[in-house]
Structure 1
Amino acid sequence: MYENGVIDATLLELLRDERKKALSHREWKFRLAGFGYGIKEDGERKIVTRLLNGTELGLLPVNFH
């Protein structure tokens, strides 16, 4: 589990960089899968996970686009 819902700064930077490169939300998720990460949506919350074992790494910030 993650601590206080905060994503590691290095991982958050990777997520932002890949989101900028992607043309759609779907493409972004596909790109993240290439790095072994996934996004689990739980209502309004979006949780970053590791695809290998489903470990939750933290919540995406509300203002994350």
Structure 2
Amino acid sequence: MLDFSNTDAALAAKAVDLITQERAKALSKREWKHRIAGYGYCIRDTQHGQIVETLPHHIPVCTLPAELCA
């Protein structure tokens, strides 16, 4: 199980909000990942699903909402 206890809930909410907005603007999943990398985030596949991490240190922020996983 991934531990998000040291992540601020407000930071996680802002990250999900930004990632959702960028997904609406992007034409493809590849473009979307490139756009969020510009903001310092990435999406990584794990055994427990996809998670949002910060770049370049890969610190987990939150799990990716199900509606964005598709």
Deviation track 1:5-35 (CA, whole Å, cap 9, x = no partner) reads x772211110110000000011000001101
- Indicate the structure whose relative CO is greater, using CA pairs within 8 Å and at least 6 residues apart: 1
Q: Which runs of 5 or more structure 2 residues have no equivalent in the other structure?
A: none
Q: Which runs of 5 or more structure 1 residues have no equivalent in the other structure?
A: none
Matched length: 64
RMSD: 2.2
Separation of aligned partners in 1, 2:31 and 2:56: 19
More helix by proportion, 1 or 2? 2
The percent of aligned pairs where both chains have the same amino acid is 37
Instruction: Please name the residue that 1:58 is paired with.
Output: 62
Change (3 A) 1:52 1:12: same
